[in-house]
Amino acid sequence: MSDSPILRSGARFLVPLMLLFSLFLLVRGHNEPGGGFVGGLVAATAFALVLLGEGKVAAERLLRWDPRAFVASGLLIALLSGVPPLLQGAPFMTGRWLKVPLPVLGKIGSPVVFDAGVYLVVLGIVLAILFSLAEDEG
């Protein structure tokens, strides 16, 4: 935990913006640069900022779940994103898209679901490592 009031107040301002930007990167990633990996890293960086500014307890309270739960659910989501093509007789992980684009989001399909799984895996792994390092420090 830092004794810097500048870091703590800066984190309070930046964390919501960083989390929102990470979701933007996630959703935009199937059409343009971005995606689950980069979005997950940005989200993990937001929690790392809380970890540095306010300590491990505050970061865990903000996260609300064990990082390993994010890894497990992300892996499950990524795996399940490949199942619909199998049910339609296509190879595993073949892209499937909704016929009607959604407002703001655009065309949504199985690659977006896969990216969401990657997002959760990256977020969970990075935070598990950071929280583990924070335990060793204290």
d(CA 113, CA 73): 12
Task: Tell me if 66 sits within 8 A of 120, measured CB to CB.
Answer: no
Q: Check: pTM over 0.95? Answer yes or no.
A: no
Task: Tell me if 102 sits within 8 A of 135, measured CB to CB.
Answer: no
pLDDT per position as a tens digit, 21-73: 999 999 888 667 788 999 999 999 999 999 999 999 999 999 999 999 999 99
pLDDT per position as a tens digit, 67-116: 999 999 999 999 999 998 888 888 998 888 888 887 877 778 888 889 99
For tokens 């990524």, name the residue. Answer: 78
pLDDT per position as a tens digit, 116-133: 999 999 999 999 999 999
Task: Tell me if 53 sits within 8 A of 11, measured CB to CB.
Answer: yes
